[in-house]
Chains A and B, each alone.
Chain A
Amino acid sequence: MRRCSVKILVTAKRVTDPDMKIQVKRDGSGIELSSMSFKINPFDEIAIEEAIRIKEARGGEVIVVGIGNEQGITQIRNGLAMGADRGIMVKIEDEVDSDTVAHILVKVIEMEQPDIVLLGKQGVDVDDNQVAQLLAEYLGWGQACFASKVQIEDSKAKVHREVDGGIEVLEIDLPGIISTDLRLNEPRYPKVSDVLKADRKKIEEMTPTDLGVNITPKVVVKGFVESPQRQGGRFVADVAELVKALKEEAKVI
């Protein structure tokens, strides 16, 4: 018996390298990006890996979508090198909020009609954790966010979710929205030959105007400051001194 193939849409957000130190521009208008390197949002990388594993098991197609400035094509190519089939780059220079991203994705989804949409649960830059949920509501679909295990069963997906207090198991109808948590999988490292192959895969470019999306944001960032640095204290020589300090100085025991 032949298993149905699935069409999966995944996102690849271009984010600042999460291990680099962040500096705010002197006038507080933004983040100093000139010396930063960029990566695929790690949660999106997990989404891409999961999509490819589903495709490998059942057949189908994986489409990687990037939204933002043109340099985001690099992150789409990373996804293609991992094994996705083609890309869509929605070019936009302005700052977009999660709501605008969700509205753009709605249009791309209407165009592509995927069975599953897999996204990272949050971008590790602005830490919103909103797009998957907004998208599910705008489409009227079910959502399974913070996934640590995904099983596709015909027209349904059984998803384990990482929630406070344990793991919750849900079953959503497909098409549906799944956002990924850290434990879902470990993304593969693409082989050089796959990186070369990715260069030949198609990336379709479009703009919000082409899609008929209004990009006026609902949420506007007015300024940034660096978080106050916590001052370190001192070293203690041994456990006895530590306990004494906790008792007499910090007064916490």
Chain B
Amino acid sequence: MGSVCIVAEHWKGKLKKATLNALTFGKEAADKLGGELHLLVIGNNVSGVADELKGFGVAKIYIVDDPSLEHYMAETWGHVVAEAARLCNARVVAMSSGTTGKDLMPRVAAKLEAGMASGVLGFDGRNFTREMWAGSVIATVEVKTKTQVVTIQTTHFNQADPVGGETPIELLNISVPESKTMFIEMHETQSQRPDPTEAQFVISGGRGMESGENFRLLEKVADLIGGAVGATRAAVDAGWVSNDLQVGQTGKKVAPDLYIAVGLSGSIQHMAGMKNSKAIVAINKDEEAPIFSIADFGLVEDLFKAIPELSRALTKELT
């Protein structure tokens, strides 16, 4: 028996929604192990983040609050997460697989002498399942060490619902080591739109968009229904949109209610990032484009004709 410890992901004092998906994994895993589910919130002034996590039925929320944890750093956070995992006797230590989880959790695994499984889809009490080869295959893996570290492919899990009740919160005293790495600055993507991983609706463009300017067409549709804009690697490489909009094997994995793929052919790598969307629409003038093979609705048309039309139709529909 052992507990499951989920590391909360947060940004600017707010919980990242992926943590709620991670909680669903955590509950399932704790049930399988017959152990408790714990949450770990670390950073500077993070009691507000912990408050957001009250009432989800976890056994305990641990907090490590320290000014030197203000900026995420693999070295300092890695130390704190590993120490906290030891203190709460965690058998499985897990985090959502955003860039923070990906950067941090191997470091935690190394500190705990634990094996690690990346981007897990499930756990049966012994084995984890996870995708490999750009989502083409699902592997069953066993992590042989006593403690097991994982990142969670959160698109695979629904967000946990609040169940009410009090959740005990415990402050942990863990000293933070010096870091050999210095945070210089963050160039934030300036966008009023939601992140593709958190949106119910995503409209993505590929090479067919022809320029960054033309992404305005997609932004207009996104804004009509409060959605996010995504992109293929080709569009990001061309500098048309910011890097954090890349959807795919090595970028973001998304699973919104509706994904509209525009002017993109559908490489294996891109489809790995969006094939689990609930409904998929593909708009492309090439009817041979592979994206049509996984789309629920395909429209063979020039995007520069179809997208403005779609904007007009949605405006009418929604007003």
Chain A contact residues, CB within 8 Å of chain B: 16, 18-19, 21-22, 24, 31, 43, 97-99, 102, 121-122, 124-134, 136-138, 141-146, 148, 158, 160-173, 176, 181-183, 217-227, 229-236, 238-240, 242-243, 245-247, 250, 252-253
Contacts and interface: CB of A to CB of B under 8 A. Distances in A.
B317 interface: yes
15 contacts: A18-B269, A99-B116, A124-B134, A127-B132, A137-B111, A142-B74, A165-B11, A166-B187, A166-B188, A170-B182, A218-B116, A239-B313, A243-B314, A252-B257, A252-B279
Contacts of A234: 296-298
A21 B258 CA distance: 26
The contact size tier of chain B is 35 or more
Given A127-B249, A166-B189, A238-B299, 4 more contacts: A22-B137, A126-B133, A242-B310, A246-B297
B132 A125 contact: yes
The 6 closest A-B pairs by CB, nearest first: A218-B115, A133-B106, A137-B110, A233-B296, A142-B181, A169-B184
A229 B118 CA distance: 22
Interface string B135-166: 11111111111000000000000000000000
B297 A242 contact: yes
A47 to B, nearest CB: 14
B26 interface: no
A134 B195 contact: no
Contact of B188 (A160, A165, A223): A165
Nearest to B185: A169
Nearest to A186: B237
B279 A172 contact: no
Contact of B250 (A21, A121, A243): A121
A182 B237 contact: yes
A31 B257 CA distance: 32
A31 B313 contact: no
Contacts of A122: 250
Interface string B283-307: 0000100001111111111000010
B176 to A, nearest CB: 15
Interface of B: 11, 74-75, 78, 98-100, 102-107, 109-111, 114-119, 127, 131-145, 179-189, 195, 197, 201, 225, 233, 236-237, 242-244, 246, 249-250, 252, 257-258, 267-269, 275, 278-281, 287, 292-301, 306, 309-310, 313-314, 317-318
A173 to B, nearest CB: 5
Contacts of A160: 187
A227 B184 contact: no
If over half of B's interface residues share one DSSP class (helix, strand or loop), that class is named, otherwise mixed; here it is mixed
Contacts of A242: 281, 297, 299, 310
B57 to A, nearest CB: 27
Given A183-B243, A218-B115, A236-B297, A230 B74 contact: no
A223 B296 CA distance: 31
A235 B300 contact: yes
Nearest to B187: A167
A137 B78 contact: yes
Contacts of B75: 142-143
A164 B195 contact: yes
A170 B15 CA distance: 24
B106 A134 contact: yes
B179 to A, nearest CB: 7
Contacts of B309: 238-239
B292 A232 contact: yes
Contacts of A102: 110
Contacts of B310: 239, 242-243
Contacts of A220: 141-142, 144
A22 B133 CA distance: 7
Contacts of B267: 19
B299 A239 contact: yes
B226 to A, nearest CB: 11
A143 B281 CA distance: 40
B181 A143 contact: yes
Given A102-B110, A252-B279, A165 B299 contact: no
A224 to B, nearest CB: 5
B29 to A, nearest CB: 17
A222 B141 contact: yes
Which of A125, A134, A167 has the largest number of chain B CB atoms within 10 A?
A167
A98 B132 CA distance: 14
A122 to B, nearest CB: 6
